[in-house]
């Protein structure tokens, strides 16, 4: 597919490691609702998504796409990203950049497209895994100015093969502080048929937006 060719081309530009040291993985998913930071991207409807990643010595690049429904003829989101993941000082770290694009957006000048820079860390405390991440966009979706998103969460395996997790996120907009809000989610996940992942998740918002329950199925391959 075109997305696979793009991911491999990006990897060829960014990596000098031997081919044998590179790892290519892919993923596909089907969900009853595509939720991004607590907000539906499909008008409450289902979405299909998929992508590819190439990793070598901690550096990675990838491409991911999903169907969307913004009620303005936009039907596709295409994300390109790259970064570096490593361990140090007892934590796992991840820094990178992601470009959110909407190729068939009817908006003049592509003002729906935006870039974010991110940094995250995580650590396991016995059976509990914790992580946190900060994302920053100099010009957020719709050319609404600088925006920040801080998120954190914990998760743990409750029985063999089944895990639970909870997350909270805070969106902040420098130019439109009245739009600031928090989102919350709690989920349970596992696998069926050996390698098909499932996830059942509840989402809610602090600003009176609609809450939702989302069921997703996914599968990874390669590596």
Tally Cβ neighbours within 10 Å of residue 61. Answer: 24
Q: Which residues of the chain have pLDDT under 50?
A: 1-20
Structure tokens at 166: 């909870």
Alpha-carbon distances of 177 from 146, 180, 181, rounded to whole Å: 11, 5, 9
Q: 139 by DSSP, 3-state: which?
A: coil
Q: 149 by DSSP, 3-state: which?
A: strand
pLDDT of residue 208: 78
pLDDT digits (tens, 9 = 90+) for 37-95: 999 999 999 999 999 999 999 999 999 999 999 988 899 999 999 999 999 999 999 99
If you write DSSP's letter for every residue of 17-48 in order, what string do you get? S-GGG-EEEEEEEEESS-EETTEESSTTS-EE
pLDDT of residue 210: 84
166 φ/ψ angles, rounded to the nearest 5 degrees? -140, 145
pLDDT of residue 108: 61
> pTM for this one?
0.88
pLDDT of residue 109: 59
């Amino acid at each position: 597919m075109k997305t696979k060719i793009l991911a491999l081309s990006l990897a060829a530009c960014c990596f000098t490691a031997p081919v044998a040291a590179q790892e290519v993985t892919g993923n596909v998913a089907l969900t009853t609702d595509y939720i991004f930071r607590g907000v539906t991207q499909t008008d409450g409807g289902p979405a299909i998504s998929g992508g590819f990643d190439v990793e070598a010595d901690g550096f990675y690049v990838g491409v991911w796409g999903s169907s969307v429904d913004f009620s303005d003829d936009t039907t596709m989101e295409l994300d390109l990203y790259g970064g570096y993941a490593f361990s140090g000082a007892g934590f796992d770290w991840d820094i990178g950049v992601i470009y959110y694009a909407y190729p068939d957006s009817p908006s003049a000048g592509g003002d729906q497209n935006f870039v974010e820079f991110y940094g995250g860390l995580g650590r396991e405390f016995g059976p509990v895994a914790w992580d946190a991440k900060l994302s920053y966009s100099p010009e957020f979706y719709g050319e609404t100015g600088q925006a920040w998103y801080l998120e954190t969460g914990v998760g743990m395996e409750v029985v063999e093969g089944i895990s639970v997790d909870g997350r909270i996120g805070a969106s902040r907009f420098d130019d439109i502080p009245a739009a600031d809000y928090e989102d919350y989610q709690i989920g349970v996940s596992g696998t069926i048929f050996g390698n098909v992942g499932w996830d059942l998740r509840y989402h809610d918002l602090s600003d009176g937006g609609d809450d939702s329950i989302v069921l997703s199925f996914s599968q990874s391959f390669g590596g």
